[in-house]
Amino acid sequence: MGRASSKEDAGALFHSLRSAYAATPLNLKIIDLYVGFAIFTALIQVVYMAIVGSFPFNSFLSGVLSCVGTAVLAVCLRIQVNKENKEFKDLSPERAFADFVLCNLVLHLVIMNFLG
């Protein structure tokens, strides 16, 4: 009884989440997709390291941190661009995007230096 209901609940929860998610604006969905892409790339690198060992450790770190860093910056962008977020009402999305671009460029400069 509980199990069946929990299963149903899980299904209902999943559906409601999905429908709610569909309501999010397009630009936020793009950002979410970007974040997912970055994390997924990081995961593949970790799996590779698990297989072959961490010999050029700096390269591994560089690769993983670039993915994670860009994901973090994208999350920040999402927070700032989200219109429902009252805190950042005064900040224009273009300004947030400019910050995102700049921080990404700096991050990737450091990553390229550390890549070796």
Partner 1 sequence: MAGGLKFKPKLVMTLTFWPNRKYWCGKLVILHFSPTATSFPSSPNSLHSCARQRLRRLQKEERISFTLIEMARSLAGFLVLLLVISICEAASLFQPISDSHRSAALELFTSDHGSFKSLEETYEALRTFQILGIEKKPDVTAAACRSISETVGSSSTPKDLFYALKANSIAQCKIHEKASKGIISSLNAAVGGASLLLDFYYSVGGLVLIKDQSSKADIHLADAEGVFRSVKAFSQSDGRWRYSSNNPESSAFAAGIALETLAGIVSLASSELDQSLISTLKNDISKLFDGIEKYDDGTLYFDDKLVDGHEYQGPLSTTSSVLRGLTAFAAATTGNINLPGDKILGLAKFFLGIGVPGDAKDFFYQVDALACLESNRVSVPLILSLSSAVLSLDKKDSLKVRVTTVLGSNAPPLTVKLVGAFSSDSKDASLLESQELKFDQGSGLHILNDLPKSIDVGSYTFVFEVVLQEPEDEKVYVTESQTKVPIFVTGIVKIENSEISILDSDLGSVESQSKLDLGGKNAVSLSANHLQKLRLSFQLTTPRGRAFKPHQAFLKLRHESKVEHIFVVGNSGKQFEIVLNFLGLVEKFFYLSGKYDMELTVGDAAMENSLLVAIGHIELDLPEAPEKAPRPPPQLVDPYSRYGPKAEITHIFRSPEKRPPQELSLAFLGLTILPLLGFLIGLLRLGVNMKNFPTKPVPATFAVLFHVGIGAVLLLYVFFWLKLDLFQTLKAVGFLGVFLVFVGHRTLSHLAAASAKLKSA
Q: Which residues sit at the interface with partner 1, rule CB under 8 A?
A: 26, 29-30, 33-34, 36-38, 40-41, 44-45, 47-48, 51-53, 55, 92-95, 97-98, 101, 105, 108-109, 112-113, 115
Q: Closest distance between partner 1 and the C-beta of residue 61, in Å?
A: 15
How big is the chain by its Cα radius of gyration, in Å? Answer: 19
- Nearer residue to partner 1 within complex by CB, 13 or 98: 98
Q: Confirm if 28 and 81 have CB atoms less than 8 A apart.
A: yes
End-to-end CA distance of the chain: 59
- Nearer residue to partner 1 within complex by CB, 20 or 55: 55
- Nearer residue to partner 1 within complex by CB, 14 or 21: 21
Q: Closest distance between partner 1 and the C-beta of residue 67, in Å?
A: 9
Residue 53 region by backbone torsions, left for phi larger than 0, else alpha for psi between -120 and 50, else beta: left
Q: Closest distance between partner 1 and the C-beta of residue 1, in Å?
A: 40
Q: How far does Cα 4 stand from its chain's mean position?
A: 34
- Nearer residue to partner 1 within complex by CB, 12 or 48: 48
- Identify which of 46, 39, 116 has the alpha carbon closest to the alpha carbon of residue 73: 39
